[in-house]
Structure 1
């Protein structure tokens, strides 16, 4: 497809005066994201899925930043280098983003102090899961919040809905779940239903690795979303949000029947995967398209370096 081919040429032209031809070839050869870009198939499918020009513009910016990151790997973990790279190739304007973050810091007292500030900024400051005409949880919505962590999204969804809503907050991490219970009780989130459940591709016992530093892995019994829906007689899901630190593909594979039959609006994190992240970017959307053709597709990103990139799938009428 012409756009992806031209984008690859543009990326290569950006680095050709700073790296030798041999260096470029070697870096591309060792990077799965770039190899998939060169092969084109998934990138073409994803680009052509997108239902608006703004999403296609973001697609190109995100891809270019991720391409450049493979040549400047220090920008992955070094904040100073990350900012420098984002000033040149950021998927959204880093100065505007930084100003919004500064403004939010003056308002964070309004929100639960038990939740990390950077999460509050994305969820409340940038309204990561409130995209007009695409993903707007409200009224008596039934929501699956998969990867609820300490309650940032559950709190956000709860406050946007009435008492007849059902916000299922799924979180397997014990420490995070304890905070989630505290948030529900302290802030009277009466429409939130807590579930200390681990989802996966099938029912199995797995070694669950906590996001809490220095916490050993634990054995947990995982189930699929399809099983949970069947076992609990869930007949409607309006919105399904998933941000599970790279386990998205496995969980999606265990939710095929639910997505096909109940057709919820989807918000799926696609910025995980691989050594330098973003390998889910070209895998998750294509997988969802194979499940069903009954969606419109959009992307939004909420950081200049492509992190917090979300695929929104809106059911066709």
Structure 2
């Protein structure tokens, strides 16, 4: 059926990952220790620096994971520009997955995607992926964002221990696969039942739908 205004999901026009209610949470009294999965060219990093400064919330550390070499180069540039603002950024040129391995990566403009196989084609390259549980060991994490083109369930599996024991706020993209709208919440709930959930549509035509899991 053709698109209709009856079924149109409206853009809420709130800043993605930082809606007003989130900035007021008591979670941030000692600042934010942020993990950004799918950092692209540093757009979330730049947004975090600006929005949190305006909200008077301290950004303690930012761990950024971006596997695409072209994007990583621009992410690096963004991070260097923010050094003067006292933003401590740790950059990792790899993707986020359920284990530490090498996967075939298809770089399609801004939407790079991992294939769950080691097969390589003309358009693909082999790139490293990590599990957050094996990487951010003993680091205090209270905010994890994921926008990784459908690999969110795999990456959450690799962050199970962090979710279980540290209860970070989670902002997870759920629009890449229809079933992710409910499956990702179920997955988080199976790791840690002490979450409440909100869905925001930050883009037009049902794009940029983010599931926020807020620790109770």
* Structures share fold, TM-score greater than 0.5: yes
Q: CA deviation at 1:227?
A: 0.4
| Count of matched residue pairs | 197
The structure that is strand-richer by fraction is 2
Partner of 1:288: 188
Partner of 2:21: 133
Alignment of 1:92 with 2:17, yes or no, is no
Instruction: Tell me: CA distance 1:158–1:136, structure 2 relative to 1, closer, same or farther (3 Å).
Output: farther
The structure that is helix-richer by fraction is 1
Alignment of 1:166 with 2:61, yes or no, is yes
Partner of 1:183: 78
CA RMSD after TM alignment: 2.5
1:70-123 deviations in whole A, cap 9, x for unaligned?
x34xxxxxxxxxxxx253321116xxx7xxxxxxxxxxxxxxxxxxxxxxxxxx
Q: Which has the higher contact order (CA 8 A, sep 6+)?
A: 2
Instruction: Tell me: CA distance 1:164–1:282, structure 2 relative to 1, closer, same or farther (3 Å).
Output: closer
1:16-165 superposed matches below 5 A: 71-72=1-2, 85-92=3-10, 126-134=14-22, 140-159=31-50, 160-161=52-53, 165=60
Preserved CA contact (<8 Å) 1:86 1:305: no
Partner of 2:97: 200
Instruction: Tell me: CA distance 1:310–1:136, structure 2 relative to 1, closer, same or farther (3 Å).
Output: farther
Secondary structure in structure 1 of the residue aligned to 2:107: coil
Q: Unaligned 5+ residue runs, structure 1?
A: 1-70, 73-84, 98-124
Secondary structure in structure 2 of the residue aligned to 1:179: helix
Rg comparison, structure with higher value: 1
Instruction: Tell me: CA distance 1:152–1:296, structure 2 relative to 1, closer, same or farther (3 Å).
Output: same
Partner of 1:228: 135
Q: CA deviation at 1:136?
A: 5.9
Preserved CA contact (<8 Å) 2:38 2:95: no
